[in-house]
Structure 1
Amino acid sequence: MTLILGIETSCDETAAAVIEDGEHILSSIVSSQIALHAQYGGLFPEVASRAHIEAISTVVSAALEEAQVTLDDIDVLAVTRGPGLAGSLLVGMNYAKGLALGRGLPIVGVNHLEGHVYSLWLIESADPVRFPVVCLIVSGGHSEIVLITGHGEYTLLGSTIDDAAGEAFDKVARLLNLPYPGGPSIQNAAKEGNPEAYRFPRAMMGEGYNFSFSGLKTAVLRAVHLLLIVRRPPK
């Protein structure tokens, strides 16, 4: 049996988990920073870094406690090495390096997007993953379609050429004076809205497998401008 302690600080959540044999989740602890960033209307990198520093020791201790193990039981450390916010990544990397040095443990740097892909192997109720597979990754500043033909064998089929989906949601929410994070706020507001009130363009289609959300974002900006400044509805 191999026990892995995973540490994640790529963006605005401090997280740690203990995984058995790379397949079974013994614990998973997440400290969210949504309330901190909501007052700024979006993600504030410096605030994120400081919050990681304050939370990481507590989060790791909680993950070990939930898994009913100690650091003496851990065989390998895994930590997000990117992509992500530079300051946030440094907090997790330096913490993991300190543990590795102090405990004499091997350490593995993990690509955070690859971590999203391999989370599919941690869903015990799901059917076994069989290659080849096409994976849609929509996470924060990333929107990608990837062909996976084997472990570590990736072909990028398409990605955003401007804003990622999550960025578009957050920017549009800010235009509409809705709270951060934008996705859930827009979804909740839309439940009370009129789906026929405005005609916005769809995201870019017909250009291979790439995405583009800037046109949709600009259309919303124009609609808000007409309503608030010119005081007439968009056509």
Structure 2
Amino acid sequence: MDLYLGLDTSCYTTSVCAVTADGRIVGDERIILSVSAGGRGLSQSNMVYQHTRNMPLLMERLAPRLAGHTIRAIAVTSQPRRREDSYMPAFLAGLGCARSLAAVLAVPLYTISHQENHLLAVLRSRNTIPDRPFYGLHLSGGTTDLVRAVPDADGLAITRVGGTSDISAGQFIDRVGVALGLPFPAGVHLETLARQCTEHVKGSHVFCRDGELSFSGPESQAQRSIAQGDVDPARCSAWTLATVWRGLEILLDQCGASAMQQLAAAGGVMSNGFLRQKLTAYCHRHDVELLLAEDGFSADNASGAAFWAAWQERKKSV
């Protein structure tokens, strides 16, 4: 059977994935990068070191599922966004491995951005890439972007419509979570804690101007309360998620929900059940088709890249 390989080395996770020609997952392996207790991130040099150490382990785990099959193409994330000024050394670890594999196997190598990889991970579940522009909401540890995506020969040409002017929704969640004593990245732990809150919590207002949100004010508010010891952790967690949603709702209202037909919501923050529920209801009210990644594939993973490799090779045979 023909298989297609994807690699992604982001700020949070080392990922490899193999899919069939129709996008079905054959193997998916990931290792979350290690952050010291109380830490809120890693230096780029530490990311490169961990990715370099992790990639052989992931390939060894994936190898048994590749046995007896033929890898026809490889795709890898090479930068955060598809822009000339978008660069992070962390992606060199995956790119170097992918180039080596493609050279030895004598197969095509495709490069896409990490942001495209996230949106393609959503599209993979439908085994198709739209032939018309669509909107995307990319919510991850370092990114809160509302974008307009246009499929082209290189992947997805993405234009940013709105987002955050300071910290991302993911950074807001992580910083509050770490202040509460949760491990980094804190998203899944904060969501678990928020479920323990039995009262309805309304989030704080989020300032937005010209499609640019600011979560720094609510984050400072939370940090002051936590430092004073004046918080219930479960309620603070629920408040944090409710505040994120208030901001996202304002962003969508200001930046064209009325013009949207499709919205692909991607990124690790979109793994959050509360936010998925709120966004689903919002899109239903506004008659927008919401596209979500399959369970487990909103967070950093390489399935979008693998799907792009399969899609490119499929186009050659048409």
- What's the TM-score, normalizing by structure 2? 0.60
> Offset of 1:129 from its aligned partner?
5.2
Q: Among the aligned pairs, what percent are the same residue?
A: 23
Aligned to 1:179: 183
Asked if 1 retains the 8 angstrom alpha-carbon contact of 2:38 and 2:178, the reply is: no
Name the CA distance, whole Å, in 2 between partners of 1:63 and 1:174: 33
> Offset of 1:69 from its aligned partner?
4.3
1:1-235 matches, cutoff 5 A: 3-21=3-21, 23-33=23-33, 36-45=34-43, 46-69=45-68, 73-83=70-80, 86-124=88-126, 131-151=132-152, 152-193=156-197, 195=199, 201-205=204-208, 207-227=209-229
Worse overlay, 115-124 or 177-186: 177-186
> Offset of 1:162 from its aligned partner?
0.7
Letter of the 1:7 counterpart: L
**Higher relative contact order at CA 8 Å, sep ≥6: structure 1 or structure 2?**
2
> Offset of 1:99 from its aligned partner?
1.8
Letter of the 2:216 counterpart: S
Q: Deviations over 1:66-96 (max 9, x none)?
A: 24445xx222221110119834312111111
Asked if 1 retains the 8 angstrom alpha-carbon contact of 2:130 and 2:151, the reply is: no
Do the aligned partners of residues 184 and 18 (structure 1) sit closer, same or farther apart at CA in structure 2, a change above 3 Å counting? closer
Name the CA distance, whole Å, in 2 between partners of 1:22 and 1:83: 26
Name the CA distance, whole Å, in 1 between partners of 2:6 and 2:203: 42
Name the CA distance, whole Å, in 1 between partners of 2:46 and 2:37: 11
Asked if 1 retains the 8 angstrom alpha-carbon contact of 2:9 and 2:94, the reply is: yes
Name the CA distance, whole Å, in 2 between partners of 1:24 and 1:102: 25
Name the CA distance, whole Å, in 1 between partners of 2:157 and 2:93: 29
Q: Deviations over 1:166-199 (max 9, x none)?
A: 11111112222222222222223333347579x8
> Offset of 1:218 from its aligned partner?
1.2
Q: Deviations over 1:148-167 (max 9, x none)?
A: 34443433211211111111
Secondary structure of 1:75's aligned partner: strand
Name the CA distance, whole Å, in 2 between partners of 1:7 and 1:89: 10
Name the CA distance, whole Å, in 2 between partners of 1:147 and 1:87: 26
Asked if 1 retains the 8 angstrom alpha-carbon contact of 2:206 and 2:218, the reply is: yes
Query: Any gaps of 5 or more consecutive residues in structure 2?
Result: 82-86, 231-318
Aligned to 1:233: none
- What's the TM-score, normalizing by structure 1? 0.79
Asked if 2 retains the 8 angstrom alpha-carbon contact of 1:200 and 1:216, the reply is: no
Q: Deviations over 1:101-148 (max 9, x none)?
A: 333332211101001111122214x99857442211102201111123
Name the CA distance, whole Å, in 1 between partners of 2:31 and 2:150: 34
Secondary structure of 2:19's aligned partner: strand
Secondary structure of 1:37's aligned partner: coil
Worse overlay, 8-17 or 126-135: 126-135
Do the aligned partners of residues 128 and 14 (structure 1) sit closer, same or farther apart at CA in structure 2, a change above 3 Å counting? closer
> Offset of 1:2 from its aligned partner?
5.6
Name the CA distance, whole Å, in 1 between partners of 2:199 and 2:165: 28
Letter of the 1:6 counterpart: G
Do the aligned partners of residues 80 and 27 (structure 1) sit closer, same or farther apart at CA in structure 2, a change above 3 Å counting? same
Letter of the 2:191 counterpart: Q
Do the aligned partners of residues 203 and 15 (structure 1) sit closer, same or farther apart at CA in structure 2, a change above 3 Å counting? same
Q: CA RMSD in A?
A: 2.9
Q: Radius of gyration: which is bigger? A: 1
> Offset of 1:26 from its aligned partner?
2.2
